[in-house]
């Protein structure tokens, strides 16, 4: 029998490996499907952000046999894992349907693959089909470069009139840089706005600020459409080890087909094409990918940044005030009387840059930093970072009541102390924290699991974590400003949860005070 074969053959697995590696069932890994390796989270963290009824870990001494009294706990833990996985499965129906559609159309196994991995596989399949290259040979191709002269990267149509930008361009053309994200970086002032530019990207360095346009002004945000794919297509930024014309034909076809599918509301097709388009630039910098080319990465990044600065220069010439620059867009105010002139400026720049832009209007804009803001538009509120008012699956759990209260204050004039106590949905107040294996978590002197969901309460204990350093047990308070109540299991929620409203009010008021003291009113 099989056990005899295994024990008799010892380390020689040839006689039984067909059983060891047999795939007797169709499997789907939801976590590898949803996130790349760098962003992947545990099922417990998914339970937290799904607002699943029970966030449950199983704690025991893994070096010892399972004690008899622990068996029921282990079974309950396993059942909870299975049920929460099923709940996640139901929430991922659209993602799974997309992958089934891709498998049917492209004949690649992708049920358990993240979006980037699928996109690369589709592109690879098309490239092999067009060139006839052997898959193994293709996967061994790379174009590594440790140092890159920027003069070889920068496009000839990058030109400036502004002295600051002229000097920047001259400096850059004399540089040889390392392509890693920790390579060259420079900060400079452009009309009193501090800007960071470098191999990692461009962004303004923003202080807390409230931006409200005057009656005769518009507050606008102009973004390049599909910046990186557009740069690849328009300028041919392709890894030198690949056949440029073939690659561009494939990539351009995907781009145009996505636009057509999007207009025709063929969502599955449009989403598939989007995966392919977005998979490329990340893999240009992945040394384990057949797309690896630091030179092509810098072509995209550096020229994208410089083209954005060319647009900024034209906006300044038009009399605009620039508030924020980030990757592919510019936030600025402009006199209403100059709007027609703006449209012409953007139209002319689109011809020069070979890019297309979309411009949206804000009624007001509130920012703590370049990636932490909310802005009011006619059809809703745009939020990012600290100001997200909805929990994102797998992205951690912070109390959304705080940004909600800040938005209510600035947009409706309702104070946090008048708004927060009216909210009865406990999920708006929840916080989570996962500790590393080096930590032990304690609540009221009792050991807890490492992933915990809780809220600030008036009758709870402090939540601590501790570890041994140099023979000494060192404690850290996990929420210093308030005691907490654990709510890993929603069945434990009391009719009167004793929420510490003052904690949430104080946190909201801190953000409000930070913004108000730095307010820039354009009235």
pLDDT at 520: 46
Minimal CA–CA distance to 435: which of 448, 425, 420, 450? 450
CB 482 within 8 A of CB 456: yes
Q: How many independent structural domains does the chain possess?
A: 2
Joined tokens for residue 9: 């053959």
Q: Indicate whether 516 belongs to any domain.
A: yes
pLDDT at 522: 39
Joined tokens for residue 12: 């020689």
Backbone phi and psi for residue 260, each to the nearest 5 degrees, phi listed first? -65, -40
What is the helix (H) or strand (E) element at residue 313, kind and residue range? helix 294-317
Dihedral sign from CA coordinates of 283, 106, 31, 429: positive
Same domain, 411 and 464: yes
Same domain, 327 and 450: no
Same domain, 332 and 447: no
Same domain, 334 and 478: no
Q: Indicate whether 8 belongs to any domain.
A: no
Instruction: Please state, in angstroms and as integers, the Cα–Cα distance from residue 282 to each residue in 36, 279, 294, following that order.
Output: 11, 6, 11
Same domain, 373 and 474: no
- Using a cut of 0.95, tell me whether the model's pTM lies above it: no
CB 174 within 8 A of CB 184: no
pLDDT at 523: 37
Same domain, 191 and 313: yes
Task: Indicate the residue among 383, 416, 431 that finishes a domain.
Answer: 383
Q: Indicate whether 307 belongs to any domain.
A: yes
Q: Indicate whether 251 belongs to any domain.
A: no
Q: Indicate whether 410 belongs to any domain.
A: yes
Backbone phi and psi for residue 475, each to the nearest 5 degrees, phi listed first? -100, 150
DSSP 211-251: EE--TTEEEEEEEETTHHHHHHHHHT---TTS-HHHHHHHH
Structural domain including 460 reads: 401-521
Residues facing residue 222 across a β-bridge: 330, 359
**DSSP 8-state code for residue 495:** S
Q: Indicate whether 136 belongs to any domain.
A: no
CATH number, domain of 184, equals 3.90.1600
DSSP 407-470: HHHHHH---HHHHGGG---GGGG-EEEE--TT-EEEETTEEE-SEEEEEEEEEEEPEEEEEEET
Angle between helices 244-263 and 267-278 (to 10 degrees): 150
pLDDT at 479: 97
pLDDT at 521: 44
Please, what are the averages of pLDDT over each run of 10 residues along the chain (523 residues)?
69 70 83 89 95 94 87 96 97 95 93 94 97 97 95 97 97 92 88 94 95 97 96 98 98 95 91 93 94 97 97 98 96 98 98 97 97 96 97 95 98 98 98 95 96 98 96 95 98 97 98 81 40
Joined tokens for residue 398: 């912070």
Same domain, 421 and 353: no
How many CA atoms within 13 Å lie on the side-chain side of 169?
19
Task: Indicate the residue among 328, 350, 383 that finishes a domain.
Answer: 383
Q: Indicate whether 253 belongs to any domain.
A: no
- CB burial string 90-106: b at 16+ within 10 A, e below: eebeebeebbeebeeee
How far is Cα 430 from Cα 47, in angstroms, rounded to an integer?
13
CB 49 within 8 A of CB 391: yes
Backbone phi and psi for residue 457, each to the nearest 5 degrees, phi listed first? -135, 165
**DSSP 8-state code for residue 54:** B
Same domain, 378 and 419: no
- Largest interatomic CA distance in the chain: 88
How many CA atoms within 13 Å lie on the side-chain side of 199?
21
Residue pointed to by tokens 């297309």: 356
CB 487 within 8 A of CB 430: yes
Same domain, 367 and 323: yes
Residues facing residue 194 across a β-bridge: 189
Three-state secondary structure call for residue 1: coil
Residues facing residue 373 across a β-bridge: 367, 384
Task: Indicate the residue among 355, 383, 411 that finishes a domain.
Answer: 383
Instruction: Please state, in angstroms and as integers, the Cα–Cα distance from residue 89 to each residue in 80, 93, 94, 183, 333, following that order.
Output: 14, 7, 10, 41, 45
Joined tokens for residue 120: 């690369």
Sheet-wide strand order for 472-477: 446-448, 440-443, 463-469, 472-477
Residues facing residue 441 across a β-bridge: 448, 465
How far is Cα 43 from Cα 35, in angstroms, rounded to an integer?
12
Same domain, 498 and 451: yes
Q: Indicate whether 459 belongs to any domain.
A: yes
Dihedral sign from CA coordinates of 228, 230, 231, 233: positive
Minimal CA–CA distance to 496: which of 464, 468, 458? 458
pLDDT at 181: 67
pLDDT at 9: 66
Expressed in angstroms, the distance from the first to the final Cα of the chain is 86
Same domain, 369 and 515: no
What is the helix (H) or strand (E) element at residue 273, kind and residue range? helix 267-278
200: number of Cβ within 10 Å: 14
Same domain, 407 and 379: no
DSSP E strand stretches across 115-213 = 148-149, 176-177, 185-190, 193-198, 203-204, 209-212
**What are the respective helix, strand and coil percentages of the chain, to the nearest 5?**
45, 20, 35
């Amino acid at each position: 029998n099989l056990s005899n074969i295994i024990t008799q053959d010892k380390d020689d697995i040839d006689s039984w490996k067909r059983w060891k590696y047999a795939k007797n069932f169709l499997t789907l890994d939801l976590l590898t499907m949803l996130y790349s390796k760098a962003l992947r989270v545990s099922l417990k963290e998914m339970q937290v952000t799904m607002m699943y009824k029970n966030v449950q870990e199983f704690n025991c001494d893994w070096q010892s046999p399972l004690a008899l009294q622990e068996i029921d706990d282990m079974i309950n833990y396993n059942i909870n894992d299975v049920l929460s996985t099923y709940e996640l499965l139901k929430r991922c129906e659209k993602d799974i349907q997309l992958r089934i559609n891709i498998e049917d159309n492209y004949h690649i196994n992708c049920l358990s693959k993240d979006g980037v991995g699928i996109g690369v596989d589709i592109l690879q399949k098309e490239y092999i089909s067009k060139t006839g290259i052997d898959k193994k040979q293709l996967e061994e191709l790379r174009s590594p470069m440790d140092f890159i002269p920027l003069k070889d990267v920068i496009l000839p149509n990058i030109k400036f009139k502004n002295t600051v930008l002229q000097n920047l361009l001259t400096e850059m053309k004399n540089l040889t840089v390392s392509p890693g994200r920790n390579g060259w970086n420079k900060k400079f002032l452009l009309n009193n706005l501090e800007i960071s530019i470098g191999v990692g990207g461009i962004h303004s360095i923003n202080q807390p600020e409230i931006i409200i346009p005057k009656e005769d002004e518009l507050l606008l945000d102009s973004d390049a459409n599909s910046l990186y794919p557009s740069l690849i297509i328009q300028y041919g930024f392709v890894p030198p080890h690949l056949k440029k014309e073939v690659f561009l034909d494939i990539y351009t076809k995907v781009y145009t087909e996505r636009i057509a599918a999007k207009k025709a509301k063929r969502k599955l097709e449009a989403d598939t094409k989007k995966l392919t388009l977005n998979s490329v630039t990340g893999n240009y910098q992945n040394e384990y990918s057949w797309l690896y080319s630091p030179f092509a990465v810098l072509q995209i990044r550096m020229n994208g940044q410089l083209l954005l600065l060319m647009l900024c220069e034209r906006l300044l010439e038009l009399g605009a005030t620039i508030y924020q620059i980030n990757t592919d867009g510019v936030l600025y105010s402009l006199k209403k009387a100059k709007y027609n002139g703006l449209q012409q400026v953007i139209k002319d720049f689109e011809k020069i840059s070979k890019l297309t832009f979309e411009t949206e209007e804000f009624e007001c804009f509130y920012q703590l930093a370049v990636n932490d803001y909310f802005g009011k538009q006619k059809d809703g509120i745009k939020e990012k970072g600290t100001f997200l008012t909805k929990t994102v699956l797998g992205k951690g759990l912070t109390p959304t009541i705080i940004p909600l209260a800040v938005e209510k204050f600035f947009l409706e004039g309702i104070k946090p102390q008048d708004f927060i106590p009216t909210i009865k949905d406990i999920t708006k107040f929840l916080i989570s924290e996962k500790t590393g294996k080096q930590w032990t978590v304690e609540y009221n002197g009792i050991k807890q699991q490492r992933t915990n969901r809780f809220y600030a309460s008036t009758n709870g204990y402090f939540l601590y974590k501790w570890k041994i350093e140099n023979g000494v047990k060192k404690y850290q308070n996990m929420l210093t400003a308030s005691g907490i109540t654990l709510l890993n299991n929603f069945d434990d929620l009391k009719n009167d949860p004793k929420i510490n409203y003052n904690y949430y009010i104080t946190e909201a008021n801190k953000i409000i005070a930070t913004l108000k003291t730095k307010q820039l009113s354009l009235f």
